[in-house]
Amino acid sequence: MSWQSELDELQRRAAAAETMGGPEKLARQKARGKLNARERITALLDPDSFREIGKIAGRGHYTAEGELNHFSPSNFIFGRGRINARNIVASADDFTVRGGAADAAIHRKFAMAEQMAHELKLPIVRMIDGTGGGGSVKSLEDLGFTYVPFVPGWEHVVRNLETVPVVALALGPTAGLGAARLVASHYSVMVRGLSQVFTAGPKVAAAMGEDELDNEALGGADIHATNGVVDDEAENEAEAFARARAFLSYLPNAAGGPPPITDTNDPADRRDDALVSAVPRDRRTAYNMRRILTQVCDQDTVFETGARWGRGVITALARLSGRPVAVLASDPTYLGGSWTADGSEKARRFVGLAKQFSLPVVHFVDNPGFMIGLEAEKAATIRRGVEAMNAIYRADIPWATVIIRKAYGVAGAAMSDHTRFQYRFAWPSGDWGSLPMDGGVEVAYRAELEAAENPAAALAAIKARLAKVTSPFRTAEAFMVEDIIDPRETRPLLCEFAQTAYDALAIK
């Protein structure tokens, strides 16, 4: 006896699954400039590394005699694959099958993909294209009743956020549960012009009384890459896949595991002479902090996230002597590097990521304080700022601080947890205190200035006296800052920190 007939049936069903939504819908997907789900999996993963699970799950249509007449595959594809030879879970919504909405098989497949990730301690990449929720309004008539909302498998989503790296890519219109799956991640990317994200689409929003907008106007990248809903945007799908691979290259497979160390040809003792003049003497003049990061970290390893929101704060993954680190930095070209409400939230989330995956933090500080003014008060800046500071104080991971220039007030104090050992260096350009001197001199010395024969000369003399008192060397004399360094020593010292930090994490 042979089982060849069943094997032939298996092959027919697998071939049917390969057809996805059929030639017409595949052509429509291509006409929109989009890859199909299986092409996306191939583009994301190492060649020939995908092992699909549940390929023949879907909906069978049978004749009166019980013979299979037609097979509609599930619109959710998942399985084990590899990125840079490391195992991951990859999933892709198939928009060509019912627009990515739920069907008879998607709920359990969706749940199992998430469950596989956290139980086997594997990173997961979700490629989202569609709603992925409970089906269309029309499907309710077929069901015959409505149901109290619940999300099967969401408990696994929550566990994954606590245990493994989660990447989500929006690769088309993404609404409802699809949007929720996108933001329930550690790193999310939209493709400009191709993907949009909304709680509900334009027609639903219009039914609630809003003017009807097109998809892009309601939920395009210009909205969500600047408000923190997603971390990044890409120009095309290939760039989105490349950013996903790059992000995962800095992280361990799971929380508690060691981040991957790579070989580098960039010497740890490299000293860049340009750093000596990187910071202008005029405290009001901005400079390029990102250039400093590239000069200090391993060459071509600075991977910035969230560049278009919370812009006073720079967050990036990088390497020092091949060791991944989380980089937090100020951007003095945006509001002087002040921490806004958005910037504070961005810092809080990033520090949480570093803590969860045991990435040592390097904080490059030029922070004149929390943003002030009416709009800052309306945005609840102090609450968001304190939440960021609390996250820093909770971060029980190795932490190094480099004070590049300003560090003022409560926001400046959020450079590190002062109760821990301060692995900290200051550049000679360091400028700190409870509040900036500029603007306060006239108020503090009003009586002396009013009594002076030449108020302008008196003001200049007072500022000259204060400049000596505010010298960073006076602070170092009192050991209120641990070391003032030649900026060219920053890379060697931070490479030493990274090695020491990884030794400590191994013991822990």
pTM above 0.85, yes or no: yes
Half-sphere CA count of 86, side-chain side, radius 13 A: 21
* pLDDT of 334: 95
Domain 4-249, CATH: 3.90.226.10
Percent of the chain at pLDDT > 70 equals 93
User: Is pLDDT at 101 greater than 70 in this prediction?
Assistant: no
- Mean pLDDT for 277-283 is 93
Percent of the chain at pLDDT > 90 equals 69
- Mean pLDDT for 477-496 is 95
User: Is pLDDT at 265 greater than 80 in this prediction?
Assistant: yes
How confident is the model over 187-209, as pLDDT tens digits?
Answer: 999 999 999 998 877 777 777 77
- 239, 389 Cβ separation under 8 angstroms: no
Rounded to 5 degrees, what are φ and ψ at 76? -135, 120
Pull the structure tokens for residue 44: 């994301």
What b/e readout covers 33-66, taking b as 16+ CB neighbours within 10 angstroms? ebbbbbebbeebbeeebbebebbbbbeeeeeeee
How confident is the model over 456-468, as pLDDT tens digits?
Answer: 887 778 777 777 7
For the chain, give the number of residues.
Answer: 508
Whole-angstrom distance, CA of residue 253 vs CA of residue 123: 6
User: Is pLDDT at 285 greater than 70 in this prediction?
Assistant: yes
- CA 59 centroid distance within chain: 37
pLDDT band, residue 254 (cuts 50/70/90): very high
* pLDDT of 72: 85
Beta bridge partners of 346: none
pLDDT band, residue 427 (cuts 50/70/90): very high
3-state DSSP call for residue 5? helix
More confident of the two residues 467 and 377: 377
Q: Per residue, what are the HEC states of 451-493? A: HCCCHHHHHHHHHHHHHHHCCHHHHHHCCCCCCECCHHHHHHH
Q: CA angle 336-341-343, nearest 5°?
A: 55
pLDDT band, residue 147 (cuts 50/70/90): low
Show the beta-strand stretches assigned E in 118-161.
124-128
Identical fold at 4-249 and 273-507? Answer: yes
* pLDDT of 198: 86
Q: Which of 161, 175, 130 is nearest to 40 (CA)?
A: 130
* pLDDT of 133: 57
Mean pLDDT (the chain, rounded) = 90
How confident is the model over 13-29, as pLDDT tens digits?
Answer: 999 999 998 999 999 99
Whole-angstrom distance, CA of residue 337 vs CA of residue 408: 11
Picking from 108-122, 147-161, 359-373, which range would have the lowest pLDDT averaged per residue? Answer: 147-161
Q: How distant, in Å, are the alpha carbons of 228, 284, 458 from that of 315?
A: 13, 23, 43
- Mean pLDDT for 31-54 is 96
What kind and span of H or E run contains 71? strand 68-73
* pLDDT of 137: 60
pLDDT band, residue 123 (cuts 50/70/90): very high
Sequence-ordered list of residues with C-beta below 8 angstroms from that of 400, at least 6 positions apart, any chain: 360, 361, 362, 363, 423, 424, 425, 494, 497, 501
* pLDDT of 399: 97
User: Is pLDDT at 435 greater than 70 in this prediction?
Assistant: no
- CA 69 centroid distance within chain: 46
Picking from 16-30, 34-48, 192-206, 355-369, which range would have the lowest pLDDT averaged per residue? Answer: 192-206
Pull the structure tokens for residue 477: 């004399």
User: Is pLDDT at 501 greater than 60 in this prediction?
Assistant: yes
* pLDDT of 397: 95
pLDDT band, residue 485 (cuts 50/70/90): very high
User: Is pLDDT at 106 greater than 80 in this prediction?
Assistant: no
Show the beta-strand stretches assigned E in 216-355.
232-234, 303-305, 313-320, 323-330
- CA 257 centroid distance within chain: 20
pLDDT band, residue 234 (cuts 50/70/90): very high
Classify residue 330 by its DSSP letter.
E
User: Is pLDDT at 52 greater than 90 in this prediction?
Assistant: yes
Question: Domain locations in the chain?
Answer: 4-249, 273-507
Q: Name the CATH superfamily, with its identifier, for domain 273-507.
A: 2-enoyl-CoA Hydratase; Chain A, domain 1 (3.90.226.10)
- Mean pLDDT for 170-190 is 93
Sequence-ordered list of residues with C-beta below 8 angstroms from that of 378, at least 6 positions apart, any chain: none
